[in-house]
Amino acid sequence: MYRLRFAEPFNQNRRLTGVRKGVVMKKVLFVMLAGLLVLPMFAQSAPYTIEVGGSTSVTPLMELFADAYAKAKPAVKVNINPTGSGDGVNNAGVLYQIGMSSRELTPAEKGKGLKEEVIAIDGIAVIVHRNNPVKSLTVEQIRDIFSGAITDWSQVTGGTKRGRIAVVSREAGSGTRGAFEEIIGLKTLVAGATESTSTGAIKAGIAQNPDAIGYISLGSLDKTIKAVDVGGVAASNRNVVRGTYKIARPFILIYRDTNLHAESKAFLDWMKSKQAQPIIATSWIPAR
């Protein structure tokens, strides 16, 4: 009697299984290699966020820059932190790739290895409530109001308006405040003045208070408040360019060459290019 032997068919199955495993391994290796080839292409188009921080006065201009740049490079996001000029200077190259300042850097700040780019020139408007009859103030009157030497509106209106003047200023360290005080020669702010941390807060406060006076970036003017002439000269970009409107200051971008990311450098170069100048000219004065 013959016995059936199953060894051969079994071995054939084993050989077939080995072939299948080989095919599978080849497919796996192919997929892995294809993935390695594709990864660099994805890396090149990966999104990148540029952190920008500092002056609240420069912020409206930076927002326009960011919106326009997003159309040209949608993979790059510009995150803007309106924290004040002091923070923009101190944290340029630390928290922020690009800092914003609306005042000149101090000698001590210049010694920290920071790079500066003046991107625009901006006037500082002295603002009052829309119904305030005051049309023009001299630099001396403005200084006296903010120092406390003049305390009632009747002293500058000839009696057409009376009431205690409510002085509104920016907080210590603000670029707008530093430039404003330096230009008008203010040494000490009047006691009891309201100190606001943003342009928006100053505008809102003055829009609600008929006796208030403050100052903001010329580029932030709107119909909610009224800008007074200074020495008979209207607060306008044209008069800043002519040199007849005296309360003006630079908008400065600050960075460090040592750790500036390539995308941040590209954005910085774009802001200095011809393409960006019409954006600046909408409400400010191009520095180029």
Tally Cβ neighbours within 10 Å of residue 233.
15
pLDDT, tens digit (0-9, with 9 covering 90-100), for 76-95: 999 999 999 999 999 999 99
pLDDT, tens digit (0-9, with 9 covering 90-100), for 196-215: 999 999 999 999 999 999 99
Q: Whose CA is closest to 176, among 140, 121, 217?
A: 217
Q: Which two tokens stand for residue 16?
A: 């077939």
Is 97:51 a contact under the CB 8 Å cutoff? yes
pTM of the model: 0.71
Is 121:285 a contact under the CB 8 Å cutoff? yes
How much is the pLDDT for 224?
96
Q: Is residue 287 within a helix (H) or strand (E), and if so which, with residue range? A: none
- 285-286 and 115-128 beta bridge pairing: antiparallel
How much is the pLDDT for 22?
54
Distances (CA, A) of 131 to 208, 211, 219, 223, 224: 11, 10, 21, 12, 10
Q: Which residues contact 83 (CB under 8 A, 6 or more apart)?
A: 53, 54, 56
What's the burial of 175, exposed, middle or buried (CB within 10 Å: 0-12/13-18/19+)?
buried
Sign of CA dihedral 78, 79, 82, 87: negative
Q: Which two tokens stand for residue 138?
A: 């001299």
Q: Which two tokens stand for residue 21?
A: 């495993």
pLDDT, tens digit (0-9, with 9 covering 90-100), for 260-281: 999 999 999 999 999 999 999 9
How much is the pLDDT for 24?
46
Residue 245 Ramachandran class (φ > 0 left, ψ -120 to 50 alpha, else beta): beta
Which residues in the chain come in under a pLDDT of 70? 1-46
